[in-house]
Structure formats: C-alpha cells, structure tokens
A and B are shown apart, each in its own frame.
Chain A
Amino acid sequence: MRKGRVDKLLPWLFLSPWLIGLVAFSLYPIFATLFYSFTRYDFFHPPQWVGIENYIKLVHDSVFWKSVGNTLYLTLIGVPLTLGFSFLVAIALNRPFRGVGFLRALYYLPSVLPPVAAAVIWAWVLNPEHGVVNNALTLVGIQGPNWFYDPNWSKPGLLLLMLWCSGYYIIIYLAGLQDIPKPLYEAAELDGASRIQSLWYITWPMLSSVTIFNLIVGLLGGLQYFTQAYVISTPNTAGVAVTGAPQGSLLFYAMQLYILAFKNLKMGTASAMAWILFLVSAIFVALLLRRHEWEGE
C-alpha cells in the first residue's frame, strides 16, 4: 500500500525541477503578459487597466509597423534564402571525399560562434572603407555600397550574415540526406533519371519533414531576431545609442519590444507586442506541423 503511493508520487518528484521552472518561467509569464497588455504600466507605479488601448496604440504606431516590416523582410526573404542555400551546400558536402569532414566543420563553425561575435565580424567585413568586401570590389573597379550605414543596403548586409550562419541547417539537412535509402536513387538511375531529376523528385520530397523542421526553427529565429541587429545598429552614430539605425532600417520586432519595455518603460504596450508575437509564432508552428502531419499520411 505504502509502496504503491510512493510509486505514484515518484514520477512527479522526478519531474518537479522542470515543473517549477515551467510554471515560473513559461506558463505564468504567458498569462501575466496577457494581463499587462491590457494595462498601463511603467514599472514604478502599479499597473492600471486600460482595456485594449495598447493594441490600438500599436496599430497607429508607425515605428511598430516599421519593426514588423523589417522582421517580415528577414523571415520571408532571409529564411527561404538560408534554407535553399543550406540545402545546396548539404548536397555538395554529402559525398565521401578526402577532406569532406574539414569542409563540413568549416561550414558549420560560424553558426556556433556567439551572435555578438558574428555581428562584429560582419560589421568589419562590410565596413564601407576598410572592409574586405568593398576592398575586393574596388580591385575589380566597383564602388561598394555603404552597407550598414545605408538604409537600402543594411538589410541585404544582414542577409549575408544570416547565410554565413546557416551551418545549423546544413548539418540538419546532411543528417536527413544520410537517411534517404540508396536503392531509391539506384532505381531512378535504372529508369534513366538524370541527377537533377532525382534531386527534384527524390531528394527534395524525401527531405520535406527536415525542411519543415528547419522552417520552424528559422521562422521562430527570424521573428525574435535581436542580438546581431542590436550589435550592428546601436553604435553607428558615434557613441550615441540609436538602436535600429540607419533610419530604423535595422529595427526589428524584438528590439522594438525591448526598447518599449526597458528604455521607454511602456511595459503595457510592450506586453501587447509580446502577446502578438506569441500568437503569430503559435499560428506559424501549428500551420507547419499540421501540414507536416498531413503530408506524412
């Protein structure tokens, strides 16, 4: 009898460290953010109920929409670009040849570097006057753009940084490639399929679940993009911290949320942004997972 009770309790005892963390740092904050999003709250005075005022303010706030636009640019252009690039690199590195391990490590390495370091490296590489990219362009007679100092070129610069850090997706694709049964290719070859054809009709469809996984990771990463843009855009104006410079072209959603909450102390409005982010990411993940299951049938 006593033993039975202990057996029933034991799993919960085992789970308890995580359960405490789950409640304190995930479940409670999700609902607390929802509550704060309906209040005016500046951290020093108690929150005041204002209904949906914060959401209405956001809809009419051009800075908010700027951050939404920049973030969508990064997720809708940057993520597909990154995945396409990763797929091609993975295909190229999927054959056994001497030194392939070294090459894989080399492509993977940038993605494990601290985001701050990767951002510093690219701010230097794309430095308009002294960076290696513009230096190389000068050699062939092209005047390189001002990259992170030019609102038209700052986001393309960030895309280059994103591509450079796609090692994670490459590794996941490589693992997926190794799981595709070889006889499929042999059969296709017997039927006279070209390499491009087997790539399109076998490899790509066989990797659809890997692509869905990469898409989820990539989209969620894109929606909360912060560190790299913060590091690159903050010091642009000689020591004066203007986050998102030049001209707000590097102001992303999570940065605007951070600025509202912790610089402007508009925690209510920032919480509204947080809940919108929660809903959007939940919908993204749910849609992708549903598609995934549906395809699996």
Chain B
Amino acid sequence: MGRRIEWIGWAALLGFTFIFALPLIFLLLSSLKLPSKIFIQPPEWIPNPITLENYYQATKVIPFFLYMKNTIIISILSTIGTVLSCITPAYALAKMSFRGKHLLFGILLATMFLPYPVVMIPTYLIFAKLHWTGTFLPLIVPAFMGDAFSIFLLRQFFIRLPTELLDAARVDGANELQILGYIVLPLSKAVLATVAVLQFTFMWSDFLRPLLYLNDTHQYTISIGLQNYQAYHTTSWHLVLAGTVIFITPIFLIFWVAQRTFVSGLTLGSLNE
C-alpha cells in the first residue's frame, strides 16, 4: 500500500513540475515562431518553422543593445560599490568593539525591513537637488554607501571566523586593515561572491528606480525598455517575448553557474542568531 501511495506522489510531483515549467517552455516556443503563427487558432504547440526572426527584429525595433549596455554599466558599477562599501562596516559590526554596537546592529536589521516606497520621495528630491535625475548616478552612487542586507550577510559570515586567528595576527603586530586584507578577505571569497551575485541580479532586474530616474529613452535599462515594444506598437507579442528571453538569459546563466552561491546567501540571510 505504501508503495502505491509513493507512486501516486511521484506522478503528482512530476505532473505538477511540468505545469510549473510550462510558462518558461511556452515563452521559449512562442518566441521561436513566425509572428503570423503565434496568433493562429487552433494553436500550434511546436513552432514550424523555427525562426530567429523575432530576436533579430526585437533588437532592431528598439535600441536593445544600447539598453543592454546601460543595464550592464549600472549593474556592474553598483555591484562593485556594494561589495567595496559593505566589507568594512560588516567587519566592524562583527569583530570590533565600540560603544553603541548593539544599537547599530538593531538599526541595520530595521533598515533591511524598510519598504522602499517609504523613502522614495525624499530620496528622489535629494537627487533632483543635485541635478542627478536623468543620469545613472542615482542608481550607482547609493551602492557605494553600503547596503543593509549585504552588510548583514557579510557580518553573519565574519562573526563565525575564529577570534583566536585574528588575535594571533594582532600579537604579531598586524593592524586591523592588514588583518582584514590578509586574513579575513581571503577566507571570505565565497560570501563576497554571494553578495556580488545577489546585488548584480537585483540591479539587472530593478524596475522602480530606473523608472524614477531615467527619463531619456537613450538611458533606459532593459527592464523599462521592454515596455517600448508596447508603446510603439500595440503589444507586439513576438518582439516582447524574444526581448524577454534575451533579458533573462544572463540571469539564467548566472543562476546555473552560481546556484549554490545564491542558495547559501539566502539561507545565511534567514538564520536568526
């Protein structure tokens, strides 16, 4: 009897998994169809012929590669900024002693939960005062001023490094910067990669901030540029779908290569210590 239930469970899981994967399969199949074949009734499930025409058109109708370049610039610079600016605060919160440390850590946790719409208006006004709206700066510069979640991740990792190791270096006359550079960071490559991967994906995907700050179409990132297929032609699905496939491919590749990195970062972030 147990056997039978096991089999039913298996079949249910596999069937459900297929349904779960269907949107991605359907996206890919549709994007490979001739535009005229996307909209026929009854539907054709497998594209015939398979064509890359939509992909070609999708990169021509809107300046797709320009949007991609913009997205890459913003994502890479803000990733560098986040990694650089989060290391020292995380180290201070993990391994240095100073007054108000617990309070500051509490504030760090609280800001992790702060919804962006709450601070959106004054933040916009700051950048408007600086005449930075309409440039990449509001998307890049804040990344150089620490990110609460990334600091938290790094702190969780640093705090587990044995204090004896650091003390031994101190006895040998190393200062804190040397300890950080020569002992802590070489041990932290994995967690630094996690922070970088998460930040890169976040910036690659971000929609609200580019929508707020980029008002010239030449500065668009892909996430807001995709909407242009709809503005110029009333929903050209064949182009939207092809553009979407290109848009998600880098994330897909990063995910494939760094799946463990993703997972370890997320679970480290959820641990309550």
Contacts and interface: CB of A to CB of B under 8 A. Distances in A.
Interface residues of B, number: 84
* Chain B interface helix/strand/loop/mixed: helix
A17 B85 contact: yes
A213 B272 contact: yes
Interface string B188-206: 0000000000000100110
Interface residues of A, number: 83
Given A17-B85, A117-B244, A216-B113, A124 B208 contact: no
A257 interface: yes
Interface string A234-247: 11001100000000
B117 A112 contact: no
B146 to A, nearest CB: 3
A45 to B, nearest CB: 13
A139 to B, nearest CB: 9
Interface string A9-45: 0111111011111101110111011001000000100
A220 B20 contact: no
Given A11-B96, A92-B13, A124-B26, A164 B20 contact: yes
Interface string B23-56: 1101100100000001101110000000000000
Contacts, number: 232
B91 A20 contact: no
Contacts of A216: 113
B174 interface: no
Given A22-B107, A168-B266, A261 B122 contact: no
A238 B236 CA distance: 11
A172 B30 CA distance: 33
B225 to A, nearest CB: 10
A287 interface: no
B43 A135 contact: yes
Given A130-B43, A223-B115, A224-B116, A29 B267 contact: no
A116 interface: yes
A162 interface: no
Contacts of B132: none
Given A17-B89, A124-B237, A278 B231 contact: no
Contacts of B122: 28-29, 32-33, 36
8 contacts: A21-B147, A106-B20, A114-B247, A122-B23, A125-B23, A172-B267, A175-B270, A274-B117
Interface of B: 9, 13, 17, 20-24, 26-27, 30, 38-39, 41-43, 85-86, 88-89, 91-93, 96-98, 101, 104, 107-108, 111, 113-126, 128, 142, 144-148, 151, 176, 201, 204-205, 207-208, 212, 223-224, 226-227, 230-231, 234-235, 237, 240-241, 244, 247-248, 251-252, 255, 259, 262-263, 266-267, 270, 272
